Amino acid sequence: MNDEYRFDEKEAFLQKLEELLRMGTDPRGLTVMTPYHIHEAERLLDVPPSPLKYFALAGGVAGFVLGFLFIVFTVLDWPLITGGKPLVSIPAFIIVAFECAILFGGIVSFIGFLHLNRLPMPKRIVNPRECGNQFVIVAAVSETGA
């Protein structure tokens, strides 16, 4: 059985959420639906930080290394000596490597976002319970029988 609380104002919603947590309700047993993101509710429920930043870091590092290696192998395969400059000129290659880091970081972040949210699944995209502009708290009540 679930207890459902609906509110039209953010302040009343936050007060009820604090009250439920003070009464000893497990934060993992609460489902919160809001029309927009509320940082206070995230802080109250002690939501762990998202691991998406690791996807972005891995994509950025991989993009930088692969972009740099692509240019180095291209230059070594088709050498074009101009003005006595070295073939592998690191300052000139940094720009392309940086752009590849941005590209790969963005692509891997998007794939990581889809993976972490278990998308694309239509059931995850559209919530069957429409709340409109209301703030909703659903508290899972465990029934203990004798």
Phi, psi of 28 (to 5 degrees): -75, -15
Residue 143 pLDDT more than 60? Answer: no
Looking at residue 58, its amino acid is A
Q: What is the pLDDT of residues 22-48, one digit of tens each?
A: 988 888 888 888 888 899 998 988 888
- pLDDT value, residue 107: 98
- pLDDT value, residue 54: 97
Q: Return all residues near 118 (Cβ < 8 A) that are at least 6 apart.
A: 124
Q: Return all residues near 106 (Cβ < 8 A) that are at least 6 apart.
A: 59
Give the three-state DSSP class for 138: strand
C-alpha 110/C-alpha 112 separation (Å) is 5
Q: What is the pLDDT of residues 110-121, one digit of tens each?
A: 999 999 988 777
| Structure tokens belonging to residue 37 | 């993101």
Q: Is 48 left (phi over 0), alpha (psi -120 to 50) or beta?
A: beta
CA torsion, points 59, 61, 65, 66, in degrees to nearest 10? Answer: 0
Query: What value does the mean pLDDT take over residues 84-104?
Result: 91
C-alpha 95/C-alpha 67 separation (Å) is 10
C-alpha 94/C-alpha 2 separation (Å) is 57
Instruction: Please state the domain extents for the chain.
Output: 2-35+131-140, 52-116
**Residue 135 · residue 33 · CB < 8 Å:** yes
Q: Cα dihedral sign for 94, 95, 98, 104?
A: negative
**Residue 104 · residue 62 · CB < 8 Å:** yes
- pLDDT value, residue 97: 96
